[in-house]
Amino acid sequence: MKRVGLITSGGDSPGMNACIRAVVKSAIAVGCEVVGIEDGYQGMIEGRGKLMVYSDVTNIIQMGGTILGTARSKEFRTAEGRKKAHANLKEWGCEGLIVIGGDGSFTGAQILSEEFNLPVIGIPGTIDNDLYGTDHTIGYDTAINTAVDAIDKIRDTANSHRRIFFVEVMGRDAGFIALNSGIAAGADEVLIPEEWTDIKALVENVKTCLKGKRSTIIVVAEGDDAGGANDIRNHVAKDLEDYDVRVAILGHIQRGGKPTAFDRILSTRLGYEAVDSLLKGEKGIMIGVNGENICKVSLESAIKMHASPSQEKMALVKRLRTQSD
Neighbours of 235 (CB within 10 A): 16
Asked whether the beta carbons of 30 and 123 are under 8 A apart, the reply is no
Q: Who's near 135: CB < 8 A, 6+ residues apart?
A: 288, 289, 290, 291
Q: Residue 173 catalytic?
A: no
Q: What are the CA-CA distances from residue 139 to residues 13, 80, 253, 274 (Å)?
A: 5, 33, 12, 17
Asked whether the beta carbons of 278 and 119 are under 8 A apart, the reply is yes
Q: Is the dihedral of CA 21, 22, 26, 32 positive or negative?
A: negative
Q: What are the CA-CA distances from residue 97 to residues 94, 279, 307, 320 (Å)?
A: 7, 11, 25, 47
Helix/strand/coil for 234 = helix
Q: What are the CA-CA distances from residue 160 to residues 154, 156, 246, 314 (Å)?
A: 10, 6, 13, 28
* Strand 96-101, strand 3-8: pairing: parallel
* Strand 49-51, strand 163-169: pairing: unpaired
Exactly one of 12, 39, 103, 128 is catalytic; name it. Answer: 128
Which residues form the catalytic set?
Answer: 128
